[in-house]
Amino acid sequence: MTEVLTREEYRAAVSKPKRGNKFGARRTVFDGITFDSKREAEVYRDLKLLERAGRISGFERQRKFELIVNGEIIGSAKIDFAFIDHDQDGRFRCVDVKGVVTREFKRTQKIIKAAYNIDVEVWK
C-alpha cells in the first residue's frame, strides 16, 4: 500500500535543512533589534551605555558607505557602528564586529579609507 502525502508534507520531506552561519554566528535579539551575532549585540549594549554616560555621541547602527573608485560608485558597505568618541578628542570612529576578517572585508576597509579617510576598526 502506498502512503499519500499532502503538498506541504512532501515539500517538508524533500527540502534541504537550513544551513547555519558558516562562521558559527547565531542571530541574537536585544532591545527588540536582531543582531547577526551575540558579540555584536554585546558591543551594541556597551556602546549604548557609553552614550547614556555622555562618553560618545552621534551613535549610529548599520552606517552605510558608498564604495567609490575613480569617482564611480562600485557598491556599498554597511558598517556595524559609527560614533563620535569624546574620550579621544571627538574622533569619529567606525567599528565592525567580526569573528573572522575576510579578504573581501579587508578590501572594503581599504576602499573606505581611500574614499573617506576613515579607518574601520575591527572588534572581535
- 27 in a structural domain: yes
Q: Residue 1: which pLDDT band, with cuts at 50, 70 and 90?
A: low
In a domain, residue 96? The reply is: yes
Give the β-pairing of 72-85 and 91-97.
antiparallel
Residue 4 lies in a domain: no
CA distance 36 to 62: 11
The reply to whether 11 falls in a domain is no
Residue 95 belongs to some domain of the structure: yes
- Secondary structure letter of residue 99 according to DSSP: S
Give a yes or no: residue 14 inside a domain.
no
9-13: which pairs have CB atoms within 8 A and are 24 or more residues apart? none
Give domain status of residue 85, yes or no.
yes
pLDDT in tens, 69-119: 999 999 999 999 999 999 988 999 999 999 999 999 999 999 999 999 999
Q: Number of folded domains in the chain?
A: 1
**Does position 16 have pLDDT exceeding 80, yes or no?**
no
| Domain, as residue range, for 107 | 20-123
Q: In the Cβ-directed half-sphere of 114, how many Cα atoms lie within 13 Å?
A: 11
Give a yes or no: residue 24 inside a domain. Answer: yes
Q: What is the pLDDT of residue 67?
A: 94
pLDDT value of position 19 = 75
Greater pLDDT, 35 or 12: 35
pTM of the model: 0.80
